[in-house]
Amino acid sequence: MAFSLPAFSYVVALIVDAILIFFAIFHVIAFDELKTEFKNPIDHCNSLNPLVLPEYGIHIFINLLFLITGEWMSLILNVPLIAYHINRYRNRPVMARTGLYDPTSIMNLHDLNTCQREGWVKLAFYLLSFFYYLYGMISSLIH
Amino acid sequence: MNQKDDLLPNESNFVGGESFHPGKNCTVYNEIVTESKCLNSVESLSNISGSIYKSDRSIFSSGEPVLSNNGSISNRGNLLYNTRPVLNNSGNILNISRPILNSNKPLVNIKEILLNSGEPLLNNHKPTNSDILILNNSGNVLNSGPILKRSDATDALSQQFQNVNLSGRISSFEHKTEYSTNSIPPRISQVNSTTNRLLDMKSPNYTNFNFYNNVVDQPNMSVTKAGFNKIWGMDSVDLLQCRNVLPFEKVSPPRIKLHQDLLDRVNCSSEIFRCTLTKIPDSNSLLQKSRLPLGILIHPFKDLNSISTIQSNTIVRCRLCRTYINPFVYFVDSKRWKCNLCYKVNELPEEFLFDPATKSYGDPSRRPEIRTSTIEFIAPSEYMLRPPQPAVYLFIFDVSRLAVESGYLSIVCNIISEEMSRLPGDSRTQIGFLAVNSAIHFFSMQDNVSQPHQLIMLDVDDIFLPCPENLIVNLKEREELLKDLLSQLPNMFKDNNDTNCALGAALQAALKLMSPTGGRITVFQLCLPNIGPGALQAREDPNTRSGKDIPYLNPATDFYKRLALDCSGQQIAVDLFLMNCQYSDLATLSGICKFSGGSIHYLPLFQASKIHHIEILEKILRRYLTRRIGFEAVMRIRCTRGLTIHTYHGNFFVRSTDLLSLPNINPDAGFGMQVSIEENLSDMQNVAFQVALLYTSSTGERRIRVHTLCLPISSNLSDILYSADQQCIIGLLAKMAVDKSVQSSLSDARDALINAAVDVLSSYKLLQSYPGSGLVAPQNLKLLPVYIIALLKCRAFRFGVNTRLDDRVYIMCQLKSLPLTQLIQLIYPDLYPVHIYVTKIITEIDGQLNPHPERLHLSAEKLDSRGAFLLDAGDQMFLYIGKNIHPSFYYNIFGIDTFTAIPEEMYELPELATPESQRLRTFIASLQEKKPYFATLQIIRDDSCFRTQFTERLIEDRFENALSYYEFLQHIKSQIK
């Protein structure tokens, strides 16, 4: 049992993943508030938009760690999400600032539902990967 | 064409009114024909059918007319009928002179020849009187010369043609013809027929004019069934055979039939509130099956002559969903009512039982809230977040070099100065002016000075207000100073050579200026804003204007959108007058209006040296300045539980799922909403939509205008298809297509439009028990394909024709925000043959001209070189003068002796004392009256260089490489599986 580089990457991944789970929960709650008219769309977008790039960034960061340490399995599991993120950001509405959400189109029920579903799916994904990283950490510590 | 259906008349049998197959070329039965009448008509038919082969001359008519017409059949030797193979009048007349076998010619060829030969066809008509049999007004035959032979390319199609003028009233589906021996020689003649009237054969007309009549029937449908279907509003039209689908006058929306008569009468007017389906499907799967879009279109702030206004302390609303009480609620007893949107039972307040009109007590159903579905409340103080704002107007003038050169400033300043006292408002009304080039010019009007003081801000990157007050001043107190300023403004910038314009910075300054109160900013823009914040670049490449893929429909920057949202938050709306002479990136600039609830006015290539430009600007601006306005408005749309509104169209900002924020509301703004069915509605009878518009009137009153629309639910697919509202569907589809072309691409939007037509017609085909080979559409959707192709050919969606990007974007903005009637006129203009009309005697009844000229299809086939045609395209009107028109026409209308003396550019009708001139002017004035904005009239001679302006609007013809209407129908038919 030795504290190796893969084990380190999994420890970092676990911490980052916990942060990502918080992001996802925040996302889901924010959209729920928007739907139930607790918040107006401009405030909503102002609060969510600054979080988009940090979320994508730290997700890519743990995958870079997996790449360096050669944890191919974990990397492959995350590649679809990275691709989705890149694609999503490329197709964002025209905006001068960073972020994804445009207050004029977010209230469109179709967009609203898509965003809400996206939040739930991501939350599930991060939760599952949290347990996978836990398993990965333990197994790399054992070997 | 289904040849089997074309039974020869003498083969047609008739058993008990069931299995008679009239055949496409034969008779047309529109009316309910009782059995005995049918039998009679069959007798007469068989008489006639015998004569077809012998003499090639016979007359057919349907149903009742035939009954009384046996006498006139004996006249048949005198009466010749058209050889036109297929097409007949909508009801009664049947034109056959060839053996019917010949008439089975493929329709395609005929149509193509006709359509492609648009021009030749026009000129084919001999203008000589001798060719044509002339009738006098009483309809007696004056002269029955030989039948004309045509000697042109279309000869094969129509050798002889004769119209029968059926006396009696004109029903809405028929066409009227009159030939008169007035000063104007024969022009187009048409068939006048009535469905219920007796045939009166004393007035036959002979012309060689091509004219298609209607076949409004299904080939293999029995007479009785057709008759009953018509009563139930369930008859259908074979579009491939029925050429004249356009009704005689305007297209009326389908009536909403609720289960109670009483409620039908109180339902919201179709001019204000329209739903694409007048019967709502009870489940989403049924809606999918019908393949129709579900949505509502609303014109909430329409100018109304009378509206009941109520002032009371308590406005009765549902406690749960906040619905306003309306005529469609259910009174459980005299103390409680059940909300028709969420079904909660509410208490009635005591004072609601008192009827203010009759001063009686006890019956809640006599209250005005229950008696009308459009009502206005004067709101008590709980509907105000702050004291009602005063009317505040700010004008931003572009004074860059291009703008000064165009000379608009003095015109605009003059008009504002003249109309200043008529601006809606009270004693608190405030007004201010800004001018912008590369610097921003503020005008300070202090209390005790004699001259307005100009403050110039050169640094446009960081905007601040040069002085805290006196930039926006009270209109009443400083009127002299304001007028002084407006008279000086044009001279102030006369020698300006600054080519830049910092519109973005000026808007930021305006926002700062207005944010304490809110109000309206009016921007006059003539060039591309090219410096400071929100600077834009010329993106358009003129070479790609006619290409397949149109780029740059999206904004280049979100600066204007974000600014609009800031404005919206401060209750400021921005209206744009774009009078550009070069590309101005309306796609980006329009963001400032779209999201702040503003409006866009577009006058491209404006030059003050052109008188008609001045005239348009003046008329538009006067109306704009004096029209009603509502400030700090919000609009909320509620609908019955189970329905959800999912997409909104129009100029506003969506603040929450059902709340639209509209800093200003104007009477020319229309809105659209797409609706989806989330839950099963089968346990309900009706659904309701309620729109509540809360605004501050210009006199500082807080008011709520409520419109409620109630619609029945149906579980039957055919009911739903037959209840669809074609114009409303087009209105909604146009808005959806604009969204699609911005989000994905123009070709996707075009495909979606075509698919919409294919979907509807194929779902109708599935519904039919015996689908024929034609393209059958329900009566209420028969105009759908015409409107779809009109949309595809309108400037917003057309391909292959050179269209400036700004023009395209402007039409897109209009499609999103125009009220329905104007939207329909924009895409499918009205064409009237005025040369016939001016010879008639016009009377005015209740503000309606009588007779109203018939509308023609937009096809060169309907034109006549001996005629004059008025095309009313909403904001523009064209009077097209045919080459061979009788000299008396232009003598009487223009006071000119020769055709070539009609000027190339003519924008006004001279006011002559002749009856023709007076009638034409009365007619045009009556059209103008119905428009919110004045339309320009352009007179186009047949050989004028402006001719394409007229011909490109004949959208049913092949133009450049776009399909003709008939080819489009063929395309749809091939797509329907």
φ and ψ at residue B774, rounded to 5 degrees? -80, -170
Contact A104 B654 (CB under 8 A): yes
Instruction: Return the sign of the alpha-carbon dihedral for residues B899, B905, B907, B911.
Output: negative
Contact A37 B653 (CB under 8 A): no
Q: Are B176 and B837 in contact (CB under 8 A)?
A: no
How is chain B split into domains, by residue range? 3-238, 308-383, 392-626, 829-954
φ and ψ at residue B673, rounded to 5 degrees? -140, 135
Q: Is the ipTM of this complex over 0.95?
A: no
Residues of B in contact with A93 (CB under 8 A): 558
Q: What is the pLDDT of residues B602-611, one digit of tens each?
A: 998 898 888 8
Distances (CA, A) of A16 to A13, A19, A48, A81, A121: 5, 5, 19, 15, 18
CA distance B80 to B58: 7
Q: Which CATH number fits domain B308-383: 1.10.4160.10, 3.30.70.270, 1.10.3720.10, 2.30.30.380?
A: 2.30.30.380
CA distance B844 to B839: 16
Q: Which tokens go with A107?
A: 């209230």
Contact A108 B555 (CB under 8 A): no
The neighbour count for residue B426, using CB atoms within 10 Å, is 15
Q: What is the pLDDT of residues B375-434, one digit of tens each?
A: 999 988 888 888 889 999 999 999 999 888 888 999 999 999 999 989 998 889 999 999
Contact B561 A41 (CB under 8 A): no
**Percentage of residues in chain B with pLDDT exceeding 90?**
26
Contact B557 A93 (CB under 8 A): no
Tally of CA atoms within 13 A in the half-sphere of B754 that contains its CB: 22
- What is the distance, to the nearest Å, from the Cα of residue B98 to the centroid of all Cα atoms in its chain? 41
Is the predicted pLDDT of residue B129 greater than 70, yes or no? Answer: no
Q: Are B775 and B229 in contact (CB under 8 A)?
A: no
CA distance A121 to A128: 11
Q: Which tokens go with B684?
A: 């309900």
- Kindly report the average pLDDT of chain B as a whole number: 75
The neighbour count for residue B620, using CB atoms within 10 Å, is 18
Distances (CA, A) of B171 to B160, B167, B194, B198: 26, 11, 6, 13
DSSP character for B911? -
- Please classify residue B313 by burial: count the beta carbons closer than 10 Å to its beta carbon, then call 0-12 exposed, 13-18 middle and 19+ buried: exposed
Which band of pLDDT confidence, cut at 50, 70 and 90, is reported for residue B572? very high
Residues of B in contact with A38 (CB under 8 A): none
User: CA of B516, closest CA in chain A: separation in Å?
Assistant: 20
CA distance B964 to B955: 7
Name the residue among A35, A93, A102 with its Cβ closest to that of B657. A35
Residues of A in contact with B561 (CB under 8 A): 104
CA distance B132 to B145: 8
Substitution target in B321, B554, B558 with the highest count of A β-carbons within 10 Å is: B558
Q: Which tokens go with B321?
A: 């969903």
Contact B569 A94 (CB under 8 A): no
Which band of pLDDT confidence, cut at 50, 70 and 90, is reported for residue A108? confident
Q: Which tokens go with B406?
A: 């165009």
Q: What is the pLDDT of residues A42-80, one digit of tens each?
A: 899 999 999 999 999 999 999 999 999 988 999 999 999
According to DSSP, the residues that pair with B671 across neighbouring strands are B298
Q: What is residue B248's predicted lDDT score, i.e. its pLDDT? A: 75
Strands B430-436, B472-474: parallel, antiparallel or unpaired by DSSP? antiparallel
Q: Are B292 and B280 in contact (CB under 8 A)?
A: no
Is the predicted pLDDT of residue B171 greater than 50, yes or no? Answer: no
**Fold: same for B308-383 and B392-626:** no
Coil/strand/helix, residue B520: strand
DSSP character for B63? H
Which residue reads 């006498």 in tokens?
B71
Overall CATH class of domain B392-626:
alpha beta
Exposed e or buried b per residue across B871-894, where buried means at least 16 C-beta atoms within 10 angstroms of its C-beta: bbbbbbbbbbbbebbbeebbbbbb
Contact B656 A107 (CB under 8 A): yes
Q: What is the pLDDT of residues B218-233, one digit of tens each?
A: 444 556 666 666 666 6
- Please classify residue B802 by burial: count the beta carbons closer than 10 Å to its beta carbon, then call 0-12 exposed, 13-18 middle and 19+ buried: exposed
Exposed e or buried b per residue across B89-120, where buried means at least 16 C-beta atoms within 10 angstroms of its C-beta: bbbbbbbbbbebeebeeebeebbeebbebbee
CA distance B138 to B132: 17
Q: What is the pLDDT of residues B870-897, one digit of tens each?
A: 999 888 889 888 888 888 888 888 888 8
Contact A108 B646 (CB under 8 A): yes
CATH code of the region B829-954:
3.40.20.10
- What is the distance, to the nearest Å, from the Cα of residue B56 to the centroid of all Cα atoms in its chain? 44
Name the residue among B554, B562, B654 with its Cβ closest to that of A107. B654
CA distance B697 to B630: 5
B599 Cβ contact partners less than 8 Å away, ≥ 6 residues apart: B575, B576, B593, B651, B666, B668, B669, B817
Substitution target in B321, B561, B585 with the highest count of A β-carbons within 10 Å is: B561
Q: Which residue, among B713, B566, B573, B889, has the nearest Cα to B259 in the 3D structure?
A: B713
